[in-house]
Structure 1
């Protein structure tokens, strides 16, 4: 049985040691490239790099849309899941190429996170076919289960592998490329898709919050951004018919369910055992949507912040 987190157990402090200004807003996903720079996309369409030590930054290019998930390539380019334009490749020369815009004649919506295999195969998630990023809470309430896992073969063929994801989000490729790990944000779980057999099971279920983007650290751990804690009202609404849940969406914004302010990341080994659980409620950072680790340096990104944050030294594992 996959691990469950009815009782989250011990936690540690999430401490922001410094901020890295991006020159924009909303660094939704963060990844380290081969040179050790932090790569992220901003709301205005720019893909930027940041030096986590000096704070120096530069612009790699612009997508013309709203970049979300990023995957740095060995040649200096970046794969980008763009909310508006689908799956893109930003070349090292700054030229943008569209890799996937439609699936079977249907426009790709809300492309979320992306990984690439050694043979050039690309996998990416979409979160929902019914809502956009600014109104993503609508999908949380509706629970549309219209997220997808999609594969793009080296020859350009695009195939949907799973079409029932509960807000498909973070995506990680196993080191041996035998499986993918998928964060299902409104399913409160991390799902495993075995590439050899095209079968699925669950690595971690019943998480205490909404899992967002994920990454595999140089420490061998699966780092997971938890955007917000579970909301008791949303949990009570989930068994109800969709039209009743959507009544909440139509309430004035001031009285809709709100995410509790928190900065939160977790880390698991690849068997699903919890290793780190770091949280902060001091307002030093908020709504963490991504996390990446390299050689002991831990950085986080957010859909709602302007800066990328560097965390203090990773604490000992939880007991």
Structure 2
């Protein structure tokens, strides 16, 4: 695997990494098709954290430190108890029309969870999706609708704004977070093009100028996102100005986060593509790193 400048190798040999999180001085990752969560020291030492048989994705932590993780296929949020066991925290099967995926957890322990909206890997017809809020007691509410594959969710450092990448929508959206956890109306944080016609995946992918996947905020209020169709990570300002773009060459970029001792290491999850049949059978996923000038901020 050729690694283009300015990236450096971090870990490799996995199936498909998503939802990188910098937490307690280590990088936490979900590996889809080995069904595991791992944490990794800066020296590259990997420790398994949990097994999620129905495919792990988004992660976050409750105020008391317990881990929450998305279980994609059965549309549940799992909670890791002090003894290491995973229990059901919430069931989203009544509100999610596809696999649930990315998640961000706020300071009060409220989780905002997206879903595919359709059977992506089974060749289903694309459709819009909901965004759900899971309260600390496990209750579920739909807080936004008609989103084009909500992904890469972030919360600003003041806890007042939720930012959501719409991977199939040519846009990043923002919502005011009210005191009770409900959301104000959707507004454009950035727009790259017209909303695609949701006819078939090939047409949708062909109409995207950028496809924001896993994403992270920095201290200047910019967003770094992995462009799932552009083989790059992008730093973007509110309004849509591209401040920086770093190519991942032949590898696709599917998620990123900022971390490290000074918050200025960008960890990027790469793989040849995102197709389940190819990734499940291979061990070609990796995490690369690069150094940036502005540290991470907000959540996740």
Q: Same fold (TM over 0.5)?
A: yes
Change in 2 beyond 3 A, CA 1:217/1:310? farther
Distance 1:73 1:216, change over 3 A: farther
**In the TM superposition, what is the alpha-carbon distance from 1:27 to its structure 2 partner?**
1.1
**In structure 2, what is the equivalent of residue 63 of structure 1?**
52
Q: 1:277 aligns with which of 230, 235, 245?
A: 245
Correspondence for 2:79: 89
3-state secondary structure, aligned to 2:228 = strand
Aligned to 1:216: 217
Which residue is equivalent to 2:29? 40
Does 1:155 pair with 2:144? no
Residue segments in structure 1 that go unaligned for 5+ positions in a row:
1-12, 230-261
- What is the rounded CA distance, in whole Å, between the counterparts of 1:17 and 1:108 in structure 2? 38
| Match of residue 256 from structure 2 | 291
Q: Whole-Å Cα distance in 2 between the matches of residues 148 and 72 of structure 1?
A: 22
Residue in 1 that maps onto 2:291: 313
Q: Distance in 1 between matches of 2:169 and 2:136?
A: 31
**Cα drift, residue 74 of structure 1:** 6.4
1:199 aligns with 2:185: yes
Q: CA deviation at 1:109?
A: 3.4
1:267 is aligned to 235
Residue 205 of structure 2 corresponds to: none
Work out the CA distance in 1 between the residues paired with 2:218 and 2:54. Answer: 28
Q: Is the contact made by 2:62 and 2:109 (CA closer than 8 Å) also made in structure 1?
A: no
Answer whether contact 1:297 1:310 (CA < 8 A) is retained.
no
Which structure has more relative contact order (CA 8 Å, sep 6+)? It is: 1
SS at match of 1:39: strand
CA distance in 2, matches of 1:268, 1:214: 11
Aligned-residue offset at 1:14: 5.4
Of the two, which has the highest radius of gyration?
1
Partners of 1:218 and 1:32 lie apart in 2 by: 15
- Summarize the Cα distance change of 1:179–1:107 in structure 2 as closer, same or farther, 3 Å threshold: closer
Task: Give, in whole Å, the separation in 2 of the partners of 1:93 and 1:269.
Answer: 42
- How far 1:272 sits from its partner (Å)? 4.6
Q: Quote the Cα distance in structure 1 between the aligned partners of 2:35 and 2:43.
A: 24
Separation in structure 2 between the aligned mates of residue 17 and residue 219 of structure 1, nearest angstrom:
24
RMSD between aligned alpha carbons? 2.6
TM-score normalized with structure 1 length: 0.72
Partner of 2:202: none
Which residue is equivalent to 1:244?
A: none
- 2:119 maps to which of 131, 134, 147: 131
For 2:256 and 2:166, how far apart are their aligned partners in 1? Answer: 16
Distance (whole Å) between structure 2 residues aligned to residue 92 and residue 275 of structure 1:
42
Aligned equivalent of 1:175: 157
Q: 5+ residue gaps in structure 2?
A: 194-208, 295-300
Q: Deviations over 1:274-295 (max 9, x none)?
A: 32211132x3xx2211001122
Aligned to 2:9: 18
How far 1:29 sits from its partner (Å)?
2.0
